[in-house]
Amino acid sequence: MKPILEVNNLTMKFGGLKAIDTLNLTINKGEIAALIGPNGAGKTTFFNCITGIYTPTKGDVLIRPDGTEGSTKRINGLKPNLVTRKGLARTFQNIRLFSSMTVLENVMIGCHPVTREGILGALFRGTRTREEEQFIVDKSYRILEKIGLEAYVDELALNLPYGAQRRLEIARALATDPFLLLLDEPAAGMNPKETQQLDELILKIRDEEKISILLIEHDMKLVMSLSENIFVVDYGKKIGEGTPEDIRNNPVVIKAYLGEDIDA
């Protein structure tokens, strides 16, 4: 079985700083993986490189969207909206919702890049466009039900409790029909109950939607409970990779986290 994401020798320089340094990483179909490391290690930069926000200085980002035996497509250098169309969706470390739009509208926005009609259709407003709008509403509603936010459909995003806002971001990402979902610190700022709900939600997305997941996360309890494979980065370099058990016992990783608790 070949991986659905292959990142080879990725390097991202900002002036003299190598935020990512010859990093290799693969994700398999149906896998939940985590990218961990101290603050400033380059985790968010890694997401930005593979989702088209930055064009990497060196290296390749290859996806295999048609399954594990299909051929790869090189996506580095593609603009973010095209990367989304290819099936990579993400959430951001800082919540980025349209706060004065409703919950339903926030998810509908996620649907747009993958619909047939697009902006031209919206301008001419034919029958097909109305059909398509209904399709988008229905699809968004179904996603909100799955995420457990159906009670809030008509609420403005800004009125949602914090944990629900984070789940709404995931709902919007799911609306683009990804094969791989990238979550940047999804549990940040959550209370223990919200984190527990998130844990269950991530498993449900993988199990029911067959979407692979790569999460950046500081909550080690969540990382250790969810992940099948963990990548550890420090100063832009991969310093460890393996199962939660491997990572817990890896002396290099323990040293990088000195003073921090990875024994969750």
Determine the interface stretch with ligand ADP among 13-21, 56-64, 117-125, 133-141 (rule: CB under 6 A).
13-21
Count, residues in the chain: 264
Beta-bridged to residue 215, according to DSSP, are 34, 183
Q: How many Å apart are CA 49 and CA 250, to the nearest integer?
A: 27
Q: List Cβ neighbours of 130 (8 Å cut-off, separation of 6 or more).
A: none
Instruction: From residue 137, give the alpha-carbon distance in Å to each of 61, 134, 141, 154.
Output: 33, 5, 6, 12
Closer residue to ligand ADP, CB minimum distance, 45 or 250: 45
40 binds ligand ADP (CB under 6 A): yes
Q: How many Å apart are CA 62 and CA 73, to the nearest integer?
A: 5
| Min dist. Cβ of residue 233 to ligand ADP (A) | 7
Closer residue to ligand ADP, CB minimum distance, 45 or 197: 45
Taking alpha carbons only, the member of 11, 34, 3 closest to residue 215 is 34
Determine the interface stretch with ligand ADP among 11-19, 26-34, 95-103, 244-252 (rule: CB under 6 A).
11-19
Q: How far is CA 166 from the centre of its chain?
A: 12
41 binds ligand ADP (CB under 6 A): yes
19 binds ligand ADP (CB under 6 A): yes
> Taking CB within 5 to 8 Å according to partner kind, which of Mg ion, ligand ADP, none is near residue 39?
ligand ADP
Q: How many Å apart are CA 201 and CA 112, to the nearest integer?
A: 24
91 binds ligand ADP (CB under 6 A): no
Task: Say if CB 62 and CB 5 are below 8 A apart.
Answer: yes
Closer residue to ligand ADP, CB minimum distance, 42 or 178: 42
Determine the interface stretch with ligand ADP among 38-46, 69-77, 145-153, 244-252 (rule: CB under 6 A).
38-46
Of the residues 3, 23, 43, 132, which one makes contact with ligand ADP according to CB under 6 A? 43
Q: How many Å apart are CA 84 and CA 59, to the nearest integer?
A: 20
Give the footprint of Mg ion on this chain (CB under 5 A): 43-44, 93
39 binds ligand ADP (CB under 6 A): yes
Question: What residues make contact with ligand ADP under the rule CB under 6 A?
Answer: 14, 17, 19, 37, 39-45
